[in-house]
Amino acid sequence: MDIKVFNKTIFDDLHLFLKGRKVWKQLEMTDSEIIDTLSSYLNSQNKKLYVLFQNNKIKATLGVFEWMRLPYYTIIDYYCDYEGKLSNYKIYNEKLWTHVISSMEDVGRHSFYWCIKSYPLANLKKREEPQLVKIIPILKKYQFNIEAIVESNDSSKFEIYNSFVTKKFNGVYQIKRATLKSKYFNYGKN
C-alpha cells in the first residue's frame, strides 16, 4: 500500500473514482462541481488530499484543511472503499489515518475538527468518541468533544460551524473537536 498527497498527476484517475462514489451522489454534485472540489486542492496551500493506493487502485481518501491562524486542521473528504471486507476497512483506515495524523503532529498541529453526518436527528448517536477510535490506535491519543449539532436546514450563530454545513445534504451534522491528550504532547517541540 502506498499513500500519496493529491496532485495533478492523479487528478484524472481520482476524478473518475470519486465521480461514482455514493457520497458525491448523495450530495447530488454535478461533474463540474466534483472537478471544482478537486481543483481546490491543487489551488490551495492549506488543503491536502491524502490518497491510499493498493495495486494502483484508490482505496481510501482523507482530506485535510490546515487552519492559517491556529495550529488546527479539519478532516474533510474522508472515504474508504473496503469492498465489503471489514479486514480491509481496518487496514486501510489505520494506515491512512495514522499517516495523516502523524504528519500533522510532526508540524505541530495537535487539534482537529471533524464533522460527522447523520440523516434523521434521532439516528445521531451523541457519543463523544467516533467509532473509528476502536480500530485506529492513533486516535486513542485524542480527546473528542462534541462542539455542536447543526441541522442542514438551520445555521449556527458561530460562523466556523456553518462552514461545515452544506445545504445539499439533508440531515444533521455533529461537529467534533479532537485534541491530543496532554500525556502525549511533546512540550517545547513547537
The span from the CA of 174 to the CA of 151, in Å, is: 9
* Residue 8 located in a structural domain: yes
Rounded to two decimals, the pTM is 0.75
At residue 9, the pLDDT reads 45
Which CATH number fits the domain that encloses residue 106?
Answer: 3.40.630.30
Q: How many domains does the structure of the chain reveal?
A: 1
Question: Could you read off the pLDDT tens digit of each residue along the chain, which spans 190 residues?
Answer: 777 675 444 455 555 555 555 444 444 555 566 556 666 666 667 788 888 888 777 788 888 888 888 999 988 877 787 777 888 888 888 999 999 999 999 999 999 998 877 655 555 566 666 778 888 899 999 999 988 888 777 777 877 777 777 666 667 788 889 999 999 987 655 5
C-alpha cell belonging to residue 40: 481546490
The span from the CA of 91 to the CA of 135, in Å, is: 9
Task: Please tell me whether residue 134 adopts helix, strand or coil conformation.
Answer: helix
* Residue 34 located in a structural domain: yes
The span from the CA of 21 to the CA of 77, in Å, is: 11
* Residue 140 located in a structural domain: yes
Q: What is the pLDDT of residues 40-85, one digit of tens each?
A: 666 667 788 888 888 777 788 888 888 888 999 988 877 787 777 8
- Could you tell me the residue range of the domain that residue 104 belongs to? 2-184
* Residue 189 located in a structural domain: no
| Beta strands at 111-118 and 72-80: parallel, antiparallel or unpaired | parallel
* Residue 190 located in a structural domain: no
Neighbours of 166 (CB within 10 A): 13
At residue 35, the pLDDT reads 58
Q: Could you tell me how far CA 37 lies from the centroid of its own chain?
A: 14
Neighbours of 183 (CB within 10 A): 6
Task: Tabulate helix, strand, coil % of the chain (nearest 5).
Answer: 35, 30, 35
Query: Residue 90: which H helix or E strand, with range?
Result: helix 86-106
